């Protein structure tokens, strides 16, 4: 029985991410290595894209995939990253819960796990303790490999005590498959409804699942991971941050503003990562819109002293 528990632990973790028979601390002491059982979800996600061979495509499915890519990228960048990791703005407890639930649909695990890993990354950016530094562990490991190692799977709740005090967030973090399951079911139902009531659109339940879930999520996953990998390899350094973080316009466009990574590493607390007017930061524009609507408040910006440290010019832009 103990052998079976150990064998199936990664699969039980897929349902309950806090399930560790030996304890989370023991798991974190394991050597960092590739594990096939941890790679299975990524393999399934990528293989699912091949379903397009049988379902084909339609403009409706393609548009759905694109919309879901950008809306869920906002969930990752503006909610998981700028809100849960850095508390760059405030909101109500109810909205916080809804934000977390929305974030789960990005299929990037729970908000507390995401925040705990990212906060650790900032404390150890590009040193030997950084779990996804391309300079230390190679590009492929920094991009996806680190996610296949059991030692990186447990949530370190000590790093997110400010979030762990909310039991509803801990619940969503523990059972993070709720988000993907809801998205999958919604897409299937949406496709079925369109097939029945708008057959002229040429879509179907499985076509909507393939494009809206598998293809959109796979592209979203890799675009998000470029911030761990590519922005520590390519781009421009405006600030001396003591690490390899860089700025990239292309990645900023793909990730709604996260490509201004060197800016962010220099001053993490700001909801604004494109420090200058010409640095496009769509997530920040949406956050400001939510602020104007009263949904969020106390939005942190970039203090004047930060601009004085910039290699561009000493004055803060309007």
In a domain, 16, yes or no: yes
The total number of structural domains in the chain stands at 1
Q: Which domain holds residue 64?
A: 2-237
| 258 located within any domain | no
pLDDT given at position 317:
47
Answer yes or no: is 161 within a domain.
yes
Query: Range with the lowest mean pLDDT among 64-68, 80-84, 151-155, 310-314?
Result: 310-314
Residue 248 inside a domain? The answer is no
Q: Cα dist. 128→94, 115, 228 in Å?
A: 39, 20, 15
Instruction: Give the span between the Cα atoms of 209 and 205, in whole angstroms.
Output: 6
**Lowest-confidence pick of 28-32, 90-94, 209-213, 227-231:** 28-32
Q: In sequence order, what DSSP letters do the residues of 268-309 get, joined into one string?
A: TT-S----STTS--HHHHHHHHHHHTTSEE------HHHHHT
Q: Percentage of the chain with pLDDT > 90?
A: 75
Q: Is the pLDDT of residue 25 over 60?
A: yes
Whether 169 is covered by a domain: the verdict is yes
Is residue 259 assigned to a domain? no
pLDDT-derived band at 129 (thresholds 50, 70, 90) equals confident
* Residues with Cβ within 8 Å of residue 271, at least 6 apart in sequence: 78, 82, 88, 89, 284, 287, 299, 300, 301
Q: Quick check: 94 pLDDT over 70?
A: yes
In a domain, residue 191? The reply is yes
Q: Write the pLDDT tens digit of every residue in 252-272.
A: 999 999 999 999 999 999 999
Confidence of residue 316 (pLDDT cuts 50, 70, 90): very low
Average pLDDT, the chain: 92
Q: Is residue 228 part of a domain?
A: yes
């Amino acid at each position: 029985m103990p052998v079976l528990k150990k064998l199936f632990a990664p699969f039980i973790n897929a349902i309950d991410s806090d399930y560790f028979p030996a304890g989370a601390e023991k798991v974190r002491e394991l050597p960092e290595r590739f594990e096939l059982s941890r790679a299975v979800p990524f393999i399934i996600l990528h293989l699912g894209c091949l379903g397009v061979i049988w379902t084909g495509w339609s403009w409706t499915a393609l548009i759905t995939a694109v919309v879901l890519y950008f809306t869920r990228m906002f969930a990752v960048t503006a909610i998981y990253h700028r809100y849960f990791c850095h508390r760059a703005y405030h909101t109500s407890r109810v909205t916080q819960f809804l934000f977390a639930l929305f974030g789960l649909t990005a299929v990037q695990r729970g908000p507390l796990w995401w925040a705990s890993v990212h906060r650790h990354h900032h404390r150890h950016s590009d040193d030997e303790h950084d779990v996804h530094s391309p300079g230390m562990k190679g590009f492929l490991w920094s991009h996806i490999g680190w996610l296949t190692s059991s030692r990186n799977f447990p949530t370190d709740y000590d790093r997110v005590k400010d979030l762990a005090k909310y039991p509803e967030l801990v619940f969503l973090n523990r059972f993070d498959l709720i988000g993907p399951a809801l998205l999958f079911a919604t897409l299937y139902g949406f496709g079925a409804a369109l097939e029945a009531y708008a057959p002229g659109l040429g879509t179907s339940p499985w076509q909507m699942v393939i494009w809206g879930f598998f293809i959109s999520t796979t592209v979203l996953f890799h675009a998000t991971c470029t911030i761990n990998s590519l922005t520590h390899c390519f781009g421009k350094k405006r600030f001396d941050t003591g690490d390899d973080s860089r700025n990239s316009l292309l990645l900023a466009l793909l990730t709604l503003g996260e490509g201004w990574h060197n800016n962010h590493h220099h001053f993490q607390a700001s909801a604004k990562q494109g420090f200058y007017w010409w640095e496009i930061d769509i997530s920040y524009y949406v956050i400001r819109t939510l602020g104007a609507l009263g949904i969020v408040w106390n939005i942190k910006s970039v203090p004047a002293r930060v601009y004085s440290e910039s290699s561009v010019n000493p004055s803060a832009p309007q």
